[in-house]
Amino acid sequence: MLEVGIAMLQGARHEHIFSIKEAARKLNINVNIRELRKSKDIHGIDALVLPGGESTAMKIASKNEDLLNSLWEVISNSNIPVLGTCAGAILLSQQGLISTPIVRNAFGRQKESFQSKIRIDYPHDDDFPGVFIRAPRFLEGSKNPIAWFGEEVVGVLEGKKMALTFHPELTNDYRFHEWLLNEAIEFKSQ
Ligand code: GLN
């Protein structure tokens, strides 16, 4: 049984839970979703999802329980696979857990939220439905891109940390969640 932790601070949490369950069904593996609210909930997780939402609201929501600080420690001290989407990607970058710089709310007003076909190269070259909601941008690109909106990098994979500026959990394409589960299997077997 894989233990997949989801930071339940704020934002698109339930959509990620649904996507993880669908990915698990597709891969035919047993997954327990661990809803992380307090530091003590973290122990023993095999993978982590940092959902989108509002990164500032997440920091405030985390203050009492210090959940985020405990998560940063786990990510720094282990090779646990992490999927950070949108605000989750912002937090990973702000914490220096990925080396790619990110700028919040960096699309102009008219394009604050939009959908567009994007290109991914995980697990191989293909299209993906990109859903962008007041999305951040990797304005300087990245050495480790895995997703592009036109020429622009919108997803990076640094080691076992995947940061996406779009929302795969709002689509019925579960490939990124399948990546997380496959990595979790490897992590658990180490
Ligand atoms: N605008 C949000 C932030 O700055 C991110 C948007 C999202 O997660 N959909 O945190």
The bridge status of strand 2-7 relative to strand 31-36 is parallel
> Which residue carries 């649904």 as its tokens?
18
- The three-point CA angle 71-77-81 to 5° equals 65
From the CA of 41, how far away is ligand 1's center (Å)? 25
What is the pLDDT, as a whole number, of residue 63? 83
- Please state the domain extents for the chain: 2-188
What b/e string do you get for 57-69 counting C-beta neighbours within 10 Å, with b at 16 or more? Answer: ebeebbeebebbe
The dihedral through the CA atoms of 14, 153, 48, 54 has a sign that is negative
What is the pLDDT, as a whole number, of residue 165? 98
From the CA of 57, how far away is ligand 1's center (Å)? 10
CATH number of this structure's domain 2-188: 3.40.50.880
The 10 Å Cβ neighbour count of residue 122 is 16
What is the pLDDT, as a whole number, of residue 10? 86
Tell me the catalytic residues.
Answer: 86, 167, 169
Q: Ligand 1 pocket test: which of 55, 58, 85, 91 has the largest number of ligand atoms within 8 Å of its C-beta? A: 55
What is the pLDDT, as a whole number, of residue 3? 98
From the CA of 189, how far away is ligand 1's center (Å)? 34
The bridge status of strand 161-164 relative to strand 82-85 is parallel
Check if the beta carbon of residue 7 is closer than 8 Å to that of residue 50: yes
Threshold 0.85, pTM exceeds: yes
Closest CA to 123 of 175, 68, 174, 75: 175
Q: pLDDT per position in the chain (190 positions), as tens?
A: 999 999 999 888 999 999 999 999 999 999 999 999 999 999 999 999 999 999 999 999 888 788 999 999 999 999 999 999 999 999 999 999 999 999 999 988 878 899 999 999 988 899 999 999 999 999 999 999 999 999 999 999 999 999 999 999 999 999 999 999 999 999 999 8
